[in-house]
Amino acid sequence: MAAPLFLLAPPRSYTSLINAMLGQHPQALGLPELNLFNVKKVKDLWRRVSDEIGDASNRRQGLLRAVAEIYAGEQTNATIEMAQHWAAARQEKSTGEVYQELVDKIDPLIPVEKSPAYTISTQRLIRIYETFPDARFIHLVRHPIPQSKSVMNLNDGIFALFVNAFEFTENRAIVEPQIAWHDININILNFLEMVPRDQQIRIKGEEIMGNPQKYLGRICRWLGIRDDDDAIEEMMHPERSVFACFGPVNALFGNDPNFLRGPTFRPHTPKLPKLDDPLPWRDDGQKLYPAVVNLAHEFGYP
């Protein structure tokens, strides 16, 4: 059985695009956001919990789309209904058991997944490792300023609000996304300390954007799968994924809507600001916190 591959990163770190690219490899399958390890039992995905963002139904649409595609070969209103019955029949099972069932079903393909919500809790990450002790992990990093700016551009910074990323002054609380960038990456680093070194790799998202053939090939060799020109060419087309579009009306999402609207990859070299530049989402000239700068230096940002 192929060990799953998980991308670990804060949201807005190229995760949707890179997950789909890796999943287009002939020996892999890129999954939507399953969110299974957010909870202990399958039925808990249908319960409103305090630490979730937005519409509660959105967090299970990726699972329903995956089940529909894997078991029925298509995503339609009818197959999504089938997937709901599939999940209901497994409601008392642990999410690890159900994830294992999906992995067995698509074997020998390597499952590739990124659910950003996994990274807000080390306990969720530990659930992954307990279920799949042979799993591989890519720690995907992005420069803190453009990542934080992107977070603030998405629904007025709702993700930063979700994870309580606030800076408190004498007379107000300011939404500060760099706190989330720092804390989530620390969660990932703390978790990866328990994972063998040969089962993890760290890559800058900007490097893949600028030189995809080089870095996708590097990932393939690390995974021990094909790195020939044909395999890399398939990975250059994330838009060909069966999940790189909106689903039927009863399961529209399962991924970042911005990615679903435009999943085509366009190679480019992102322009990186200096770590001491003023922050574009602040009106008071604030710069990155020293702890954020130090962590960015550790990740290789000058």
Confidence of residue 55 (pLDDT cuts 50, 70, 90): low
Is 159 or 116 the better-scoring residue by pLDDT?
116
Confidence of residue 169 (pLDDT cuts 50, 70, 90): confident
Is position 127 within any domain?
yes
Is position 272 within any domain?
no
Q: CB neighbours of 262 closer than 8 A, spacing ≥ 6?
A: none
Residue range 208-237: mean pLDDT, rounded: 98
The predicted pLDDT at position 59 comes to 87
Read off the DSSP letter of residue 94: B
CATH code for position 76: 3.40.50.300
Residue-wise pLDDT for 82-97, tens only, equals 999 999 999 999 999 9
Is position 93 within any domain?
yes
DSSP string, 164-219: T-EEE-SS-EEE-HHHHHHHHHHHHHHHHTTS-GGGEEEEEHHHHHH-HHHHHHHH
Is position 290 within any domain?
no
The predicted pLDDT at position 92 comes to 98
Residue-wise pLDDT for 98-141, tens only, equals 999 999 999 999 999 999 999 999 999 999 999 999 999 999 99
Contact 19, 113 (CB under 8 A): yes
Is position 301 within any domain?
no
Is position 231 within any domain?
yes
Residues β-bridged to residue 204: 141
Is position 34 within any domain?
yes
Residue-wise pLDDT for 202-220, tens only, equals 999 999 999 999 999 999 9
Total domains, the chain? 1
Residue 58 host element (H or E): helix 58-72
The predicted pLDDT at position 154 comes to 83
Is position 275 within any domain?
no
The token duo for 125 is 């990450």
List the domain range (segments joined by +) for residue 37. 5-142+199-265
Mean pLDDT (the chain) is 94
Contact 98, 36 (CB under 8 A): yes
Q: Is the pLDDT of residue 52 over 70?
A: no
Q: What's the whole-model pTM score? A: 0.95
The predicted pLDDT at position 53 comes to 52
Q: Minimal CA–CA distance to 137: which of 47, 228, 14, 8? A: 8
Q: What are the two backbone dihedrals, phi and then psi, of residue 48, each rounded to the nearest 5 degrees?
A: -75, 125
Q: Is the pLDDT of residue 51 over 80?
A: no
